[in-house]
Amino acid sequence: MDKPLNRPIQQTLNDFSFIGQDNVRVMDEVYEEDSFWKQLVKRIAKNKGSVFGFVTITLIIFMALVGPMISGYEFDEQIAGHESMAPRIPVMENFGIFDGSETLKTSTGELVVNKYETIEGGEDAYHWFGTDVLGRDLFTRTWVGTRISLYIALVAVIVDVFIGMSYGMISGYYGGKVDNAMQRSVEVLNGIPNLVVVTLLIIVLKPGLMSITLAIAITGWIGMSRVSRASMLKLKESEYVLAARTMGAKDMTIMYKEILPNIFSQLLIMSMFSIPNAIFTEAFLAFVGIGIPVPMASLGSLISENFKSLTTHFYMIVPPVLVLALLMLSFNLLADGLRDALDPTMKEV
Amino acid sequence: MKNLSKKSLWLSGAASLLLLSACDTEATDEVDESVEAEAPAETDEQVLNVQLNVEVASMDPQIATDGTSFEVIANTIEGLYQTDSDGQAVPALVESAEKGEDGLSYTFKLREDATWSNGEPVTAHDFVYAWRRLADPDTGSEYSYIMGIAGLVNANEVLAGEKAPEELGVQASDDYTLDVQLANPVPYFESLMSFIPFFPLNEDFMTEVGDSYGTSPETLLANGAYEVSSYEPAATTIELDKNEEYYDADNVVLDGVDYQVIKDSQQAMLSYQNGDLDLVTLAGEQVDLFKDDPEFVNVQAGYLWYISPNTLVEGLENANLRKALATSFDKQQITDTILKDGSVPADYIIPDGLAVGPDGKDFRETSDTYLEYDPEGAKESLEAAKSELGQDSFTFGLLVEDTESAINVAQVLKSQIESNLDGVTIEIEQMPKKTRLERMKQADYDLGLTRWGPDYADPMTYADLWVTDGNNNDGAWSNADYDELVYSSIDGELSLDDEARWEALKEAESILLNDAGVLPVYQKGNAVMVQDNVSGIDFHAVGLPRVYKFAVKE
């Protein structure tokens, strides 16, 4: 065993050769330094679903802002004689679709009617989505209703960020008795079903947008506060926090300057996911009849109103259902894309 | 992780929903099976399947107040009289009636072959018991005041709790003779006797079941064409079987009536088209689809829909403002484009087809119309009101119950009133019917869209609503001349002279409407579908909407 070790090593020149310039070349790959947001946008752009979501949301927001102005009708304007008219769209009517005719399946046979031809001044009237049983333009009403849903989305985000995030962070950061008290009260709040909270609110307040907003403000932030508390618990023991504290940073600085940037992406995803929930809650409340009062419109109340004519004039329910479905789907897709883009484990660097 | 768990939450939520709906289908499947299982055994059974819009509120004739409850009660219990297909009172349990010469007493001889479904005979004592029960303040009947309208001796004192119910002017001189003493002549007394609160109840049975009366088939007694075989409070299905003990059972062809509570008219129509229902009520848009169908029937109902203005509210005490409101909406448009069910515009308060006067003509034939749609006149009235009140803008809440047609009508009212009357804003407040009634009772409202159905075939069933401090005068409208005319027609001088009374009621209507004490909107019509193998259902405008005694299903 020790023989080879004791043998003197003789080296000749032939034992060595030049590595040569061809074999080793240190190439410095230069990574473009992108900002956080720029990276985010790049990654999202790779995800087709979330691009679709983003485009649809932009389109819907645009239509909600502009739609009611370009239709030429007011959302609560009841035009006598224009009750229950089928959709009629310029240009497209020439192709035999959306020309204002509809087929009524009466018990004595099918009946094709076109109200635009029978009523006075009907030839010049265009209702792109048709009208409801009271003679109100559905195009205008649908986009006015979409405004409500978008407003609810905005409320949900604001509530999530301002109440949910702060509540969870404070609870997690201070821990101990503070945490205990705050978490128990959240559990109590969470124990009351949403519907009950809204119903109670409506007894106290008038039914309307205010009580729905309040209902979301009261209960909508609980999921968010849980996430931010959990992230806070994880990060508050880390070294950089200790370092900051040693340097004499105040609690507020540590929470909002040191920890928040590190958990922000999770919170962003969370609040995006809460939007479709909030929109659906409003639509559901409107559908069961405790939403905004008539003649105001929201997507939910439009669905609820027009559902009553489903077997007679089915076209009435299609626009609000489509917009609601698209809006919820798009927010979900966008949130999905955001999550993938922000997930640190999926970063390629 | 969080998102994952959220997803799984959604999943489990969806799963539980599926489970729930699975339970639902299972339950209905079971019902279907049991029906099918019975069917082959008795294939020739004739059961009429009827849709109800709302649940039965009470099976107690002295407690029930709504049309649906009345309909079911009237199928199982028979009173002294019943209404025929023309709305006239025809004898039911009465064999012969003797009217005192001064119109102040009645002696009813009851038929001796009538029995309750437990085998006990129906006697005059049953009527005495039920009537005392109705008048007794301890019963808490909302219809107790009808005893005063019927004019029985001591009725008002018993209602006020000043006298014992035993002192009411009704006695049984023997088992089959009922003596009634009236304080004043009541020309429509016989018609009133076909009204549910005057129906008999068996005292022994009532003592036996106590407060649980009318909560199950076992705690119900029938003396009419059908008896209840399946019922529980707030039930969505009620089954009636033919009552074999009924004295006229030979003339009842049906083996039973099954009621199903289906609130959604589309769903009801689907059931009808499947053949599960024989009689359904249509709503709004559906009428267009079915109006040419041979099975389509349009029935005029007596129900009058009107807006009750609360005169205690600032602004609404002004007659010009009320008049402006009353004439500013197009009733024709409401009935023709929104309701479409045969409803007609009401420019009156006593419905068409309610009562025939001493001249043999319908009340409406010989009386005027008021408060027609007149946007120009409405604007003038509004200007007058503005200068009288020194106010330029008014905002009123409009209470509406949360049914499809009421909400639609309210939205048209709002839009038309606001466009015709500058400065008037209407805020629609929709709520369940029960809440609306409560708030109107407490005078906690501005305007209320409400309705009243006729209880008996006389204009008084409407006229007595708006007397000062009246039980149902929610808007607290008050007029001394009106009070005098109505009270005198009930039990004063006018009650003795049929023709003068008739004229007085016309005058009362003109006083009420010229002052716009109420804002009439429309008289309800019903669009119904009846399967073509069903015949013999009586539709009435007064009291009972539908009677099935002679219905046949082939």
Q: Closest by alpha carbon to A138, among A307, A293, A316, A312?
A: A316
Q: DSSP for B480-502?
A: HHHHHHHHHHHHSGGGG-HHHHH
Per-residue pLDDT tens digits for A304-336: 888 888 888 888 999 999 999 999 899 989 888
Asked if the C-beta of B332 comes within 8 angstroms of chain A's C-beta atoms, the answer is no
Q: For residue A103, give the DSSP letter.
A: E
Q: Closest by alpha carbon to B280, among B49, B3, B111, B481?
A: B49
Average pLDDT value for residue range B248-264: 89
Q: Peptide bond preceding B545: is omega within 30 degrees of 0, i.e. cis?
A: no
Secondary structure class of A288 (helix, strand, coil)? coil
With a pLDDT cut of 90, the percent of chain B lying above it is 34
How many beta-carbon pairs below 8 A join chains A and B? 84
The pLDDT value given to residue A3: 55
Are the Cβ atoms of A312 and B286 closer than 8 angstroms? Answer: yes
Asked if the C-beta of B436 comes within 8 angstroms of chain A's C-beta atoms, the answer is no
Rounded (to 5) percent helix, strand, coil in chain A: 65, 5, 30
Please check the confidence at residue B19 and state whether its pLDDT lies above 50: no
Average pLDDT value for residue range A164-189: 92
Average pLDDT value for residue range A185-197: 87
Are the Cβ atoms of B428 and A313 closer than 8 angstroms? Answer: no
Are the Cβ atoms of A269 and B411 closer than 8 angstroms? Answer: no
Average pLDDT value for residue range A174-183: 93
Q: Which residues of A touch B333 (CB under 8 A)?
A: 80
The pLDDT value given to residue B346: 92
Chain A residues within 8 A (CB-CB) of chain B? 76-78, 80-81, 83-84, 104-108, 133-135, 206, 223, 226-227, 230, 266, 269-270, 273, 289, 293-295, 308-313, 339
Are the Cβ atoms of A76 and B430 closer than 8 angstroms? Answer: no
Please check the confidence at residue B426 and state whether its pLDDT lies above 90: yes
Backbone CA torsion sign across B346, B350, B354, B355: negative
Question: Considering only A30-39, B145-154, B309-318, B525-534, which range has the smallest mean pLDDT?
Answer: A30-39
Mutate to test the interface with A, among B6, B273, B285 (most CBs of A within 10 A): B285
Neighbour count for residue B538 (Cβ, 10 Å): 18
The pLDDT value given to residue B110: 92
Please check the confidence at residue B4 and state whether its pLDDT lies above 80: no
Q: Which residues of B touch A313 (CB under 8 A)?
A: 285
The pLDDT value given to residue A178: 93
Q: Which amino acid is at A118?
A: T
**For A83, nearest residue in chain B (alpha carbons):** B337
Distances (CA, A) of A35 to A46, A337, B261: 17, 18, 64
Per-residue pLDDT tens digits for B277-304: 999 988 877 887 888 888 888 887 778 9
Which residues on adjacent β-strands are paired with residue B258? B49, B239
Tell me the C-alpha distance between A81 and A144, whole Å: 23
The pLDDT value given to residue B28: 38
Rounded (to 5) percent helix, strand, coil in chain B: 40, 20, 40
> Between A77, A310, A312, which is nearest B289 by CB?
A312
Q: For residue A84, give the DSSP letter.
A: T
Asked if the C-beta of B288 comes within 8 angstroms of chain A's C-beta atoms, the answer is yes
For every residue of B177-205, which 3-state class applies, written as one string?
A: EEEEEECCCCCCHHHHCCCHHHCCCCHHH
Q: Closest by alpha carbon to A294, among A113, A83, A76?
A: A76
- R_g (Cα) of chain B, nearest Å: 25
Mutate to test the interface with A, among B289, B418, B431 (most CBs of A within 10 A): B289
Question: Considering only A23-27, A96-100, A288-292, which range has the smallest mean pLDDT?
Answer: A23-27
Are the Cβ atoms of A339 and B2 closer than 8 angstroms? Answer: no
The pLDDT value given to residue B359: 85
CA of A92, closest CA in chain B: separation in Å?
Answer: 27
Average pLDDT value for residue range A109-129: 83
CA of A104, closest CA in chain B: separation in Å?
Answer: 7
Tell me the C-alpha distance between B55 and B51, whole Å: 10
Per-residue pLDDT tens digits for B515-540: 999 999 999 888 889 988 888 888 87
Q: Are B460 and B495 in contact (CB under 8 A)?
A: no
Q: Are B51 and B279 in contact (CB under 8 A)?
A: yes
Asked if the C-beta of B266 comes within 8 angstroms of chain A's C-beta atoms, the answer is yes
> Between B273, B285, B290, which is nearest A133 by CB?
B285
Domains of chain A: 43-85+127-343 (1.10.3720.10)
Q: Which residues of A touch B269 (CB under 8 A)?
A: 311
Average pLDDT value for residue range B19-32: 40
Here the tokens at position A9 are 């090593």
Residue B45's contacts (CB-CB under 8 Å, 6 or more residues apart) are B39, B255, B256
Are the Cβ atoms of B290 and A106 closer than 8 angstroms? Answer: yes
Secondary structure class of B465 (helix, strand, coil)? helix
Q: Which residues of A touch B338 (CB under 8 A)?
A: 83, 133-134
Phi, psi of B419 (to 5 degrees): -80, -30
Between B414 and A125, the higher pLDDT residue: B414
Average pLDDT value for residue range A36-62: 89
Please check the confidence at residue B327 and state whether its pLDDT lies above 90: yes
CA of A20, closest CA in chain B: separation in Å?
Answer: 52
Residue A88's contacts (CB-CB under 8 Å, 6 or more residues apart) are A98, A99, A100, A116, A125, A126, A127, A128, A130
Tell me the C-alpha distance between A140 and A64, whole Å: 9
**For A267, nearest residue in chain B (alpha carbons):** B2
The pLDDT value given to residue B24: 40
Phi, psi of B174 (to 5 degrees): -150, -175
Q: Which residues of B touch A106 (CB under 8 A)?
A: 288-290, 292-293
CA of A61, closest CA in chain B: separation in Å?
Answer: 26
Please check the confidence at residue B417 and state whether its pLDDT lies above 90: yes
Question: Considering only A242-251, A287-296, B119-128, B264-273, which range has the smallest mean pLDDT?
Answer: A287-296
Average pLDDT value for residue range B410-414: 92
Neighbour count for residue B17 (Cβ, 10 Å): 10
Please check the confidence at residue B508 and state whether its pLDDT lies above 80: yes
Here the tokens at position A288 are 């069961």
CA of B284, closest CA in chain A: separation in Å?
Answer: 9
Are the Cβ atoms of B292 and A133 closer than 8 angstroms? Answer: no
Please check the confidence at residue A348 and state whether its pLDDT lies above 70: no
Please check the confidence at residue A129 and state whether its pLDDT lies above 70: yes
Backbone CA torsion sign across A89, A95, A99, A104: negative
Tell me the pLDDT of chain B averaged across its residues: 85
